[in-house]
């Protein structure tokens, strides 16, 4: 390689680097600008809300003192009695039924709400999307209050609240999975004259089966955690015992109930993780 060619190559490389830097500079400035705006808004929000950082730093010490003074030792005997154990079973059943009904209703709603396979892009699609978004927009606590007002206190109101919650939760995830499928098999079946149900059964379902199973397991996991909140607001189960103990200022019983909820949630998490691993491995 001659000296002239080396000089030309270096000049070309320097020019490419310079062009890359010029193209990169607006993006870098934009990122720093966004970061600065977020930082300024954080400072403004903390000042507007009068957040006292010194009190936050001492929060854990005060919480520890409160737990040691009021909630220790937990009344373990209370959560081992028959009535409370029956409420645990009711909570599990409520979460199972709410999750099951919600998932079964969310699957057709997701089919209607997936833009690439919906049977009606001007009718079913917007209506299904609106219904799913409405279910997601309302917290399970509000659903419980509404159904308790209509149906009265008890497990039925809790199951209905969890059903609406699961439709919104699972329906959105199901629809996104359907919209992400490969449309090649779908178009191939449509070209042969297959109807919509055949397209779903033989082109869509094989692609989303594993994802749907994992989402269903995760939905039940979330529904089980939400079941205690639903019970607190009138849906029955463990939440009702927690509410009663809080209102009667029975701190040691509250601590025991909270511990039992934590243990059950951990067990449910272990079960759901095991099920997802089994589904992922195909065994």
Q: Name the nearest CA neighbour of 235 among 139, 137, 151.
A: 151
Is 74-281 CATH 1.10.3720.10?
A: yes
pLDDT reported for residue 62: 66
Is residue 73 helix, strand or coil?
coil
Q: Please tell me the pTM assigned to this model.
A: 0.72
Tokens representing 43?
């400072």
Distance CA 43, CA 22 (A): 32
pLDDT reported for residue 200: 80
pLDDT in tens, 66-105: 666 666 777 777 777 777 788 888 888 888 898 899 999 9
Q: Worst-scoring range by mean pLDDT, 151-155, 187-191, 237-241, 274-278? A: 274-278
pLDDT reported for residue 24: 53
Query: Where in the chain are the domains?
Result: 3-51, 74-281
**Which comes out higher in pLDDT, residue 144 or 283?**
144
Cis before 115? omega within 30: no
**Which comes out higher in pLDDT, residue 131 or 196?**
131
Query: HEC string of 140-183?
Result: HHHHHHHHHHHHCCCHHHHHHHHHHHHHHHHHHHHHHHHHCCCH
Distance CA 243, CA 257 (A): 10
- Give residue for tokens 């927009």: 137
User: Exposure pattern of 130-157 as b/e (b: 16+ CB <10 Å)?
Assistant: ebbeebeeeebbebbbebbeebeebbbb
Q: How far is CA 280 from the centre of its chain?
A: 20
């Amino acid at each position: 390689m001659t000296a002239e060619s080396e000089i030309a190559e270096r000049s070309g490389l320097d020019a490419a680097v310079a062009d890359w830097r010029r193209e990169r500079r607006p993006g870098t400035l934009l990122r720093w600008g966004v970061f600065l705006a977020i930082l300024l808004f954080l400072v403004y929000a903390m000042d507007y809300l009068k957040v006292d950082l010194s009190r936050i730093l001492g929060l854990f010490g005060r919480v520890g003192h409160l737990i040691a003074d009021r909630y220790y030792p937990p009344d373990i005997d209370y959560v081992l009695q028959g009535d409370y154990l029956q409420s645990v079973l009711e909570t599990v059943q409520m979460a199972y039924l709410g999750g099951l009904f919600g998932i079964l209703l969310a699957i057709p709603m997701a089919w209607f709400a997936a833009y690439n396979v919906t049977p009606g892009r001007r009718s079913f699609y917007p209506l299904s999307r609106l219904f799913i978004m409405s279910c997601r927009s309302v917290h399970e606590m509000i659903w419980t209050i509404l159904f308790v007002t209509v149906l009265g206190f008890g497990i039925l109101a809790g199951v209905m609240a969890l059903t609406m919650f699961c439709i919104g939760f699972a329906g959105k995830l199901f629809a996104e999975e359907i919209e992400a499928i490969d449309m090649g098999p779908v178009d191939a079946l449509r070209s042969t004259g297959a109807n919509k149900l055949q397209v779903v059964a033989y082109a869509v379902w094989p692609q989303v089966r594993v994802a749907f199973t994992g989402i269903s397991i995760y939905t039940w996991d979330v529904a089980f955690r939400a079941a205690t909140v639903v019970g607190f607001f009138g849906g029955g189960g463990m939440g009702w015992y927690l509410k009663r103990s809080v209102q009667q200022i029975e701190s040691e019983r509250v601590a025991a109930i909270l511990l039992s909820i934590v243990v059950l949630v951990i067990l449910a998490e272990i079960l759901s993780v095991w099920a997802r691993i089994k589904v992922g491995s195909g065994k």
